[in-house]
Structure 1
């Protein structure tokens, strides 16, 4: 196992910062590594706390009386200079758990009401996103969405289109569009499951 010698905060931004990690590898060679993190300071980094508290939440929700549509957003992302299909998602506030965060984020991004469903911990606990670059982790909340689509609660900096996609549209999206990887894997379940969330019954 490598040894971390020092950590220096490189930036001072509100939502994400860059940290420089100086280390010695298991092969006794020097390591100069950079980590992007939601942490506000060195002491809050997951490599320091060793605690995997979710930074954000993603929401896999089904819509419609026949439970035949999945709620997606088509969002412009400056990292790509293009649009990408994702699940509704967002950061968890300090004073809320991730189920509460999911309900809030669903409303803010889509105008829809989310009714979360209980699932085994293995399906909802926070997992890491792009661990070669960041310590960010996200929990997943599953549920059923209802109501009317609205953009009234979206932030002025956001460019979001809400998409209620059936299986044919999901097939097209996977074949032709930019899709976030976590969303893509879940959409593959949506295509294969005869009943919504059937795969969630594999672990009890």
Structure 2
């Protein structure tokens, strides 16, 4: 099994100071560099001090539990289900896949169904008599220069079941995109788009292009 080579020198966590509280918390991290000097770095997290400290001390151990889920929903008609959501930090609508935080003690399948229902009104579809979804082997990090938040990407076959149930502060528009049209969509889109969504769409576009080349 191929793995990344181990780093030769690693800074060591020396201290954590919480600077501000709220839904998003700001921290100052102090590290001891390999030459013995101290280095300060600003970060943010949704976790309180003790939970954040445990997460930083655990990092790299392989015992990672994702904080959030990103769902790549696909219908029987080979369409992807996407959303336009108004994102307050951007002061703009943004193209994305349905996503949200995993609640405490919530397993992946329950979170998957809940987020689909709330944001899109879709639910898991039966394929050959069973629900079909696939989680990537490892959760990825949202923004490694800013926060430790990790996101589990899950591909799922879905079908429309009800109307969406967003929170009053959530402004979400659901739309479907035929996989065959993904490349054209990426070329023409001018609405801000999340990097994760952009890269996943590009992978579908490349598959579609390769399929055409084989014809």
Bucket of the pairwise TM-score, normalised by the shorter protein: 0.7 to 0.9
CA distance in 2, matches of 1:38, 1:124: 24
Q: Aligned-pair RMSD on alpha carbons?
A: 2.2
Aligned length in residues: 189
Query: Of 170, 175, 187, which residue of structure 1 is paired with 2:201?
Result: 187
1:56 aligns with 2:74: no
8 Å CA contact retained: 1:72, 1:85: yes
TM-score (norm 1): 0.82
Offset from partner CA, 1:6-63 (integer Å, 9 cap, x none): 101222223x321111122223333111111121223444212334210000001112
Asked whether 1:27 is paired with 2:42, we answer no
Secondary structure of 1:10's match? strand
1:169, distance to aligned residue in structure 2 (A) = 4.9
Give the C-alpha shift of residue 117 in structure 1: 2.7
Gaps of 5+ in 2: 1-9, 126-130
SS state at 1:193 partner: helix
Q: Which residue is equivalent to 1:4?
A: 13
Q: Deviations over 1:65-106 (max 9, x none)?
A: 432x10111111111111111100000011211222111101
Confirm whether residue 98 of structure 1 aligns to residue 123 of structure 2.
Answer: no
1:174 partnered with 2:171: no
Within 2, Cα distance between the matches of 1:191 and 1:112?
A: 23
What's 2:172 paired with?
160
Helix, strand or coil: the match of 2:20?
coil
Partner deviation per Cα, 1:140-179 (whole Å, 9 max, x = no partner): 111111125623x100111111011124653344232321
Distance 1:5 1:27 in 2: 14
Identify unmatched segments of 5+ residues in structure 1.
199-204
Q: CA deviation at 1:187?
A: 0.8
Contact (CA 8 Å) 2:31, 2:38: kept in 1 or not?
yes
Greater radius of gyration (CA)? 2
Shift of 1:124: 4.1
Whole-Å separation in 2 of the counterparts to 1:43 and 1:113: 32
> Is the 1:11–1:18 contact (alpha carbons within 8 Å) kept by the matching residues of 2?
yes
Q: Equivalents in 1 of 2:45, 2:185: separation in Å?
A: 30
**8 Å Cα contact 1:149-1:162 kept in structure 2:** no
